Structure 1
Amino acid sequence: MFCAALVGLAATVAAGRAEAACPVTPEALKSALVKADEKDSTGLNNHYWAVAVDRTGAVCAVAYSGETTASQWLLSRQIAAAKAFTANGLSQDGAPLSTAQLYPWVQGSPSGGNPLFGLAAGNPLDGATVYDGNYDKFGTAQDPLIGKRVGGTITFGGGVGLYDGDKAIGGLGLSGDTACADHSTAWRTRKLLKLAPSNPTDKLTFDDLAGHPHCPNDADTQGVNKPNA
């Protein structure tokens, strides 16, 4: 499944298909993100950056949940973009995949590593693009990231696919707090946007050996496989 998804991602990016419709407007993303942030009780109680990409992987909406651009980690803007790109690129119709699910597949081990060891080195972030533009436009409808495929591969919580029923239509990435809080707030944001898949199997599984490790204050994390929480 993972290998097929990676092949599909490479083909999509290489083909340079015509732009797809954005799953969400910047205004709707901002509203949902702020509400999701207000309800979050996990992690470090930080604010977030959120980035949405269309089905071709192009950034189409950027928002932040704090009062100003500087109210959340600036570094998280590009991490959120890479999470959205990753989740979109590895999610398929009826088969959502979150960045949190990648964590156990990319870890090294004494026996030689897991099936996707080294994945994070693939599809590197386009630094020239992600750092370009006017800082005053960051997180607005005129964010310099809009329309760009910035790439990036992130293998911890915070990125989820966006869906219209069972149809994959894009990706959402959140960053700014612990990986568990990022996943939790992304899960809640997607639900508020009404863009969750019909069968959301892309949950985070807490397991320090075979899943995603626990994070500080993660007891109320949303989107978790409850039996393993």
Structure 2
Amino acid sequence: MNLQKTRRAFACAIAVAGFAAIAGADAARAEDCPTTHAALKSALMRADDADSTGLNNHFWAVVVNRSGAVCAVAYSGSTVGSQWLLSRQIAAAKAFTANGLSLDGAPISTAMLYPWVQGSPSGGNPLFGLAAGNPLDGSAVFDGDYSKFGTPEDPLIGKRVGGTITFGGGLGLYSGTKAVGGLGLSGDTACADHSTAFRARNRLSAAPSEGNDRLTFNDLSGHPHCPNDKFSAGVNVPAS
């Protein structure tokens, strides 16, 4: 009888330790994240409402911490199926890209990469083939319960899914001049993704205090225009 009690106590202790470890990991992950799910959701929905460009679609938003791990996922539509499902993993890759290439005081948006990765008859640009060196982990982004996508329990949370996206929608997240993570938006045209991400980042108070990662349009050395975009080269995206 005493042996049975000992075994039960031992099993209980292991279970408690396991739950504590999980809770501790979640707490550490939450503390490490540049934002919360609630704050991301609110910023995304308000930024979506303010956007009048593109195709008038809804968006997925993904935030990664400085290590590149996904720590918040949200969507702006009324249900999980109100925006393109494919855009969830594109948003994750945009966040990973912007975080991975932004440094303290030197933000780089995914829109800025576009002209550097284009091929040409003369052999291409310096970063041609960039995305091929860092593929998205498909097994991670497709895993888990669909009903939890975009919630605080999204199966992407805590995973580094990688990926490199070289058009608008990914921005570095900052605390002053210090890089603290990345934000990726996807669901509409590349230009609308960028402008909505810009608004959402401002609402999260996570824009860099130094550097310029705005989208500029130029047929040869900038990002191409998108359907229904209303911005000219060098024009700042509104904060509201």
Is 1:131 equivalent to 2:105 in the alignment? no
State the identity as a percent: 76
Whose Rg is larger?
Answer: 2
1:80 to 87, 91, 97: 91
Residue matched to 1:226: 235
Q: Deviations over 1:93-118 (max 9, x none)?
A: 00000000000000011111100000
1:1-229 matches, within 5 Å, as: 21-220=32-231, 225-226=234-235
Amino acid at match of 2:32: A
* TM-score when normalising by structure 1: 0.88
What runs of 5+ residues in structure 2 fail to find an aligned partner? Answer: 1-27
Q: CA deviation at 1:226?
A: 2.5
1:41, 1:220 within 8 Å by CA — same for their partners in 2?
Answer: no
1: CA distance, partners of 2:46 / 2:216: 24
Residue matched to 2:7: none
2: CA distance, partners of 1:48 / 1:220: 20
Instruction: Please state whether the residue corresponding to 2:96 is helix, strand or coil.
Output: helix
Instruction: Please state whether the residue corresponding to 2:81 is helix, strand or coil.
Output: helix
2: CA distance, partners of 1:199 / 1:46: 31
Q: CA deviation at 1:225?
A: 2.0
Q: CA deviation at 1:199?
A: 2.3
What runs of 5+ residues in structure 1 fail to find an aligned partner? Answer: 1-17
1: CA distance, partners of 2:231 / 2:105: 27
* TM-score when normalising by structure 2: 0.84
2: CA distance, partners of 1:95 / 1:137: 35
Structure 1 consecutive aligned stretches of length 4 or more whose deviation exceeds 4 Å = none
Amino acid at match of 2:189: T
2: CA distance, partners of 1:150 / 1:185: 23
Amino acid at match of 2:125: N
2: CA distance, partners of 1:226 / 1:67: 31
Q: CA deviation at 1:209?
A: 1.4
